[in-house]
Structure 1
């Protein structure tokens, strides 16, 4: 049984890379923003993901799934 004060353990992949399984930030609340701001948020989301991957983290959500989800949430 999980202790609520103990964080869940990260999954491990291959040569010790940590798999990040979420929860991911949602961008749906920004759907009503002007087009320019939504594109800026999309760029920021991609930059943040790239920074995590550059640190050796592996996302459970594929890049294609990520792009599809964020563009749908931002209505792009």
Structure 2
């Protein structure tokens, strides 16, 4: 099976790509957890997004916006 690189210049995407537009899961409810646990949730969120992208999904939220949102919500 051939792996597909989902990083496309200028927003170009394969015609068969499924775009996920949200709503995005919120991590704000985990702010009260110890910092170590919040970092674990951050790594988990990145891994889950990566797995979706590897499966052919395209996120309408840019990666930079995703990182900013999750770190702001987790206060890390």
1:41-74 Cα shifts (integer Å, max 9, x gaps): 0000000000000001000000000000000000
Segments of 4+ moved more than 2 angstroms: none
| Structure 1 residues 3-45: Cα deviation after superposition (integer angstroms, max 9, x where no partner) | xxxxxxxxxx542101000111100000010000000000000
**What is the number of equivalent residue pairs in this alignment?**
64
* TM-score when normalising by structure 2: 0.81
Question: How far apart are the structure 2 equivalents of 1:18 and 1:30?
Answer: 29
Q: TM-score, normalised by structure 1?
A: 0.81
Aligned match of 1:27: 27
- Tell me whether 1:57 sits opposite 2:57 in the alignment: yes
Unmatched segments (≥5 aa) in structure 2: 1-12
Pairwise CA RMSD of aligned residues? 0.9
Q: Which has the higher contact order (CA 8 A, sep 6+)?
A: 2
Structure with greater proportional helix content: 2
